[in-house]
Structure 1
Amino acid sequence: MTSRSRYRLLLAVSCVLSTYSFLNHHKFPLNFNAFWPDQRQSSSRRPPPPSPVEERQQVPLASLESSFFTWSDPDAPPLPKPPYKPEAELSLPIPDPFPLLSEYPAPSRKFLLQHVPKPPKSHSKEEAPLLIGFTRNWPLLLQCLTSYIAAGWPPSSIYVVENTGTMFSNKQGQLTLQNPFYLNHTQLGMLGVNVIITPTLLTFAQLQNFYLWFVSPFAPLLLPRRLTAVKKRTALNRNWDYFFWSHQDLLVFSPPHDPSSTLYSNVLSVMQYLKSPAAPKWAHHFFAYDHLTLVNLPSVLSIGGWDTHIPFYSTDCDMYTRLMWAGFWQGESPEVGLIFDVKTPVDDVAALLSLPGHEAGFNGTVYEDVVELGEAMQEVKYNHSNDNSGRNTWQLRQRGGQEEPFYRDAAGFEVGTKMMIDLGRAVFAEKWGHRGCDIALMEGIESRDAWRLERDWEEGENGGEDGW
C-alpha cells in the first residue's frame, strides 16, 4: 500500500467516525435499515403505494380553518346553494380548420410553402419580427398567421405569443380542439412559426408590456443562462428596437393587382424609411389602425409603457394620447395590402397558401377573388348588430374542454373579461377626469395631469364618447 492509499484510507475512517460521533452526540436515531433495506424482504410486506388524492379520506377541518371558511360565527348555519343559471345553448363542434396539417404522414414544410413569395433581398430575420397574441379561437389564429405567410412574411419571423393561462398544457398536447384555449404547437412548427408561452394569463395592456419586455435588450439579463445560451437563434439574444404586433382576428393579403410587391415587402419599406434620419420622431406606425402595428421600442419605453390599471378597451386611447403629448408622431400607411377584420375562418385554411386541390370557400361559396372573399367575411363580422357589439363573438365559438387542465367555463370567462373592460374604462375616466377616448381635445391637458383632474361629469349622467 502506497502512502497515498494509506492517506485516503485514514481520511475515510476519520469521516465515518466523525459522522458517528456527531449523530450519537445529538441523539439522532441510527436506523441503518433505512439506508440499506433488507433486499430479501418480500414485496408483500412493503407498504402499499399512496392512493390518489381523490381516493384519500377527507381530514376534518381544524377549528381555525372552520372559522376562516365561515367568515363569521363558527356555529353559523351553512348558507343555501344558489340555483343554477339556465343552461347555455349548445354550439356545434368546430371542424379542423386546416385538415392537411393533421394528415399522416405529415406534409413537408417545403410542400406547404411552395407558392409563398420569397422575401426581398433587403430582408433579414432580425429586421421585422411579428408578434401575434393568442388567447382563444385556434382556427382564427391559424387563418391569420397563414395569411401573413401567404402575404410574404417569413414564418421564422413570426412569433405566436400563447397567452392562454394554461401554462404548458398545449405544448404537452393536453387540450383538445373544442377547448377555447387550444393551440397546436406541432402544427405551428410545421409552418415554421415560433411560439412563446406567457407565464400566466395577461390582459391586453399586460400583454403589450410583455412584448416590450420580450424584445428588450435587457431580457437576456433576466433569464437563466441556460436559456440565453441556446445555439438556436431566438428573440432572447436579439436586440430589437423595432417590432410588429398584430391582432389574431385578421385576414391579410398582398396587393391583388401588383404581383411584384407583397404586404411584407411594403411594410418593410415603410419601416426602413422610419429608421432613416429623414423620418420624424415616432412611436407607433399603423396599418389599418392598430390591426397591424409597427412599434418603436425606445419611444414607448420612454413614457413608461402601457398602463396596466386599464386592462382592455381604452388602454389604447391612454397610450397613444400620452405618446402624442410627448411629441411622438404616429402615422398610418393603409395601402400596403389588404387587411380585413374577420370573426370566422375560411372553410379550408390550406387554400390561403394556393395549394392544389384546396379552394377558398366561405359559407358554402367559393371565391376566386381574394378581395371579394375578405369583404364578405368582414361584412359578416360587422353586420351582426348596428353598433358592432357582436364583432367579438368569435371568442365564444368553442365551448368544450371540460375535465382538461386549467378548464374555464367559456361563458363565465367572457363575463369576467367584460367586467374587467368596464372597470378599465372607469379607471381611465378617473385618471383623466373625462369619459371617452377624446381626451386629446381637452384644452391644456398633458400627461402630468393624470389623476389630478376633477370629473367633468355628474353622477348618473350618460357616458361621453362611445357611451361610457
Structure 2
Amino acid sequence: MIIGMPNRRLLVNLAAVTVAGLLIFSIALSSSHATLRDLPRKNLHKDYDLPTAPPLLIGFTRTYPVLLQAVVSYITAGWPPSQIYLQNFFLSLTYAHDWPYYFWSHMDVLALSYEDGRDGLTPPYTDPAYKSLYALCLTALRDARASGKKWATRFFAYDHLALVNPAAFEDVGGWDTLIPYYLTDCDMHSRLTMKGWTMEDAKAGIITDVASALGDLRALYRVEGVEVEWVDPNPPPKKTEEELREEERKKEEAERKKKEEEERKRKWWSWGKKRALGGAEGVVQGAEEVEKRDVPPVKEARDDDVNLARWNALREASDQMFRHKHGDRERNTWQLGQHGGEGEPFYYKPAGLAEALDLITETGREVYRRKWGHRDCALISGAGLKFDDAWRVEKDW
C-alpha cells in the first residue's frame, strides 16, 4: 500500500494545532475558576491491563477552528494530550510505534463525557467511581480483548469515534486506497465481515457531528465567566439568483444520493449487527446520525449544581450545532468555508480543491462498482458476495 508522507508544511500545521490545543489547555488549567474533572491520571491505561496507551488519531482536511475544537473537546473529555495525534496514514503508524490498538476520530466532532452519569456505564461526575469518555473507551478496549471474539472494531457513534484492531485490518489487506472516500467504509467493513471479524457498537460519551465551533474553547474547561456560544466559522458567501437556483438543483440531487447511500448503509449495518448478535434484532444508527440519548442519564441537573449546568449548556450547544450542520445547508459545506493562504507555498484554491475531491469521490464509487459488480453496501446480504469475489464478478444491474 502506498502511503503519502506529510510534507514540511503539513508537519508545521500539525505542530501548530497541537501547540494551540495545549496552549488553551495550559491557560485553562492555570485559571482558578476552571473545573477539570476529566484530567486523566498518569498511566491510567495500566488499570485496564493495557501495556501501551492507545492513541487517538484524528483525520483532518480543512477548517482549523473545527479541528482545534475536536482536539480540545477530547482533552476535556479526559484524553491525555500526549496521546492525541493528527495524521492521515493510521495503519502505518501502528508499525512505526508498535501500537497494538488505536482509536481514530473525525475532525468535525465535539466530544463530551457522560458527566450526568449513565446506567451501566458510569455514575455522575460527583461519584468517585465516575468514568470519563477516555476511561470508558479503555473499558471498551479491555472488554473487547477479553471477549474471546475475533473483533475488528468498536464504533462509538458509528465511525465518528472508533476503536481499531490493526490485526483485523491487516488480515483483509487494509483500506482500499483506490476508493478514497464514500463507499470505502462499505468496502472495508464488508471485507472484515467476509473474513469473520466482528464489529460492534459501544458507548463512551456524546460524540456530536458538527460544522461550527464554540466561540471560546475555554467553555469546554468550564472557566467561570465564559459563555457557551457557538459560531459558524464558514458562513456561506452571498450568491446571485442564478447561482442559488443551480445550488438548489445540486443540493436536491446531493440530498437524494445521500439518502439513498445512507439507506443502503443502514440496511447493511443492520444485517451485520444482527449477524454479530446471533440473529437478535438491534436498533441501528446511520453514519449521519449521532445517537446519544439511547442510554438515559442517571440524574437531572440540580439548580445548585453549577458544574452540571455548564455541562448541560455544552450538550445543548452541541445539539444546536448538529441541527445546524444537518439543516437546510448541505452537510459538508463547512469544508468550503475556510479561505486564506493565497500566495503561500503549496496554496490550492478552496473551490478547486472541493471540486477535485468530488471528482475523486465519484471515481472511487465507480471503482467500488467495478470491483464488486454491485452499487450499494449490501455486498453480502444483497449480492451474496465472498472475499475472493472482488474484481471477478459482472455488474448485477
2:112 to 253, 262, 269: 253
* Aligned CA distance change for structure 1 residues 361 and 367 (closer, same or farther; 3 Å): farther
Q: Is 1:329 matched up with 2:251? A: no
Please list, as runs of the form range in 1=range in 2, the aligned pairs for 1:31-180 lying within 5 A after superposition: 110-111=29-30, 115-119=36-40, 122-124=44-46, 126-161=52-87
Q: In the TM superposition, what is the alpha-carbon distance from 1:108 to its structure 2 partner?
A: 5.1
Rounded to whole Å, the distance in 1 between the matches of 2:65 and 2:44 is 32
Q: In the TM superposition, what is the alpha-carbon distance from 1:435 to its structure 2 partner?
A: 0.8
Q: Is 1:382 matched up with 2:326? A: yes
- Scaled by the length of structure 2, what TM-score is found? 0.67
Please list, as runs of the form range in 1=range in 2, the aligned pairs for 1:214-253 lying within 5 A after superposition: 214-216=93-95, 219=96, 238-253=97-112
Rounded to whole Å, the distance in 2 between the matches of 1:367 and 1:274 is 30
Unpaired runs of at least 5, structure 2: 1-16, 117-123, 233-309
Please list, as runs of the form range in 1=range in 2, the aligned pairs for 1:283-302 lying within 5 A after superposition: 283-302=152-171
Rounded to whole Å, the distance in 1 between the matches of 2:215 and 2:27 is 22
The question of whether the paired residues in 2 share the 8 Å contact of 1:274 and 1:280 is answered with: yes
Rounded to whole Å, the distance in 1 between the matches of 2:163 and 2:148 is 14
Q: Is 1:341 matched up with 2:201? A: no
The equivalent residue for 1:351 is: 219
Q: For residue 284 of structure 1, give the secondary structure of its aligned residue in structure 2.
A: strand
The equivalent residue for 1:45 is: none
Amino acid at match of 1:147: S
Rounded to whole Å, the distance in 2 between the matches of 1:443 and 1:411 is 37
Amino acid at match of 1:412: G
The question of whether the paired residues in 2 share the 8 Å contact of 1:273 and 1:279 is answered with: no
Amino acid at match of 2:190: T
Rounded to whole Å, the distance in 1 between the matches of 2:370 and 2:393 is 8
Rounded to whole Å, the distance in 2 between the matches of 1:367 and 1:212 is 35
Q: Deviations 1:183-206 (Å, cap 9, x if unpaired)?
A: xxxxxxxxxxxxxxxxxxxxxxxx
Q: For residue 441 of structure 1, give the secondary structure of its aligned residue in structure 2.
A: coil
Please list, as runs of the form range in 1=range in 2, the aligned pairs for 1:192-231 lying within 5 A after superposition: 207=88, 210-216=89-95, 219=96
The equivalent residue for 1:268 is: 138
Higher CA-based Rg: 1
The equivalent residue for 2:180 is: 311
1:373 to 303, 312, 317: 317
Rounded to whole Å, the distance in 2 between the matches of 1:254 and 1:398 is 29
Amino acid at match of 2:39: K
* Aligned CA distance change for structure 1 residues 410 and 325 (closer, same or farther; 3 Å): same
The equivalent residue for 2:251 is: none
Q: For residue 275 of structure 1, give the secondary structure of its aligned residue in structure 2.
A: helix
Rounded to whole Å, the distance in 2 between the matches of 1:323 and 1:109 is 43
The share of aligned pairs that are identical, in percent, is 40
The equivalent residue for 2:395 is: 455
Q: In the TM superposition, what is the alpha-carbon distance from 1:128 to its structure 2 partner?
A: 2.1
Q: In the TM superposition, what is the alpha-carbon distance from 1:442 to its structure 2 partner?
A: 2.9
The question of whether the paired residues in 2 share the 8 Å contact of 1:241 and 1:296 is answered with: yes
Q: In the TM superposition, what is the alpha-carbon distance from 1:116 to its structure 2 partner?
A: 5.0
The question of whether the paired residues in 1 share the 8 Å contact of 2:69 and 2:110 is answered with: yes
Q: Deviations 1:393-451 (Å, cap 9, x if unpaired)?
A: 11111122111110100000000000000000011001010111222223541010011
The equivalent residue for 2:254 is: none
Unpaired runs of at least 5, structure 1: 1-97, 162-206, 220-237, 458-468
Q: Deviations 1:324-347 (Å, cap 9, x if unpaired)?
A: 0000000011x3211100001011
Larger proportion of helix: 2
Rounded to whole Å, the distance in 1 between the matches of 2:189 and 2:366 is 18
Q: Deviations 1:23-66 (Å, cap 9, x if unpaired)?
A: xxxxxxxxxxxxxxxxxxxxxxxxxxxxxxxxxxxxxxxxxxxx
The question of whether the paired residues in 2 share the 8 Å contact of 1:360 and 1:368 is answered with: no
Amino acid at match of 1:340: T
CA RMSD of aligned residues (A): 2.7
* Aligned CA distance change for structure 1 residues 383 and 319 (closer, same or farther; 3 Å): same
* Aligned CA distance change for structure 1 residues 142 and 377 (closer, same or farther; 3 Å): same
The question of whether the paired residues in 1 share the 8 Å contact of 2:28 and 2:221 is answered with: no
* Aligned CA distance change for structure 1 residues 284 and 447 (closer, same or farther; 3 Å): same
- Scaled by the length of structure 1, what TM-score is found? 0.57
Q: For residue 244 of structure 1, give the secondary structure of its aligned residue in structure 2.
A: strand
Q: In the TM superposition, what is the alpha-carbon distance from 1:215 to its structure 2 partner?
A: 1.3
Q: Deviations 1:367-411 (Å, cap 9, x if unpaired)?
A: 9522211111100001135xxxx1111111112211111010000
Q: Which one scores higher on RCO, CA 8 angstroms, separation ≥ 6?
A: 2
The question of whether the paired residues in 1 share the 8 Å contact of 2:39 and 2:76 is answered with: no
2:347 to 388, 393, 407: 407
Rounded to whole Å, the distance in 2 between the matches of 1:451 and 1:311 is 17
The question of whether the paired residues in 2 share the 8 Å contact of 1:367 and 1:373 is answered with: no
Rounded to whole Å, the distance in 2 between the matches of 1:101 and 1:296 is 30
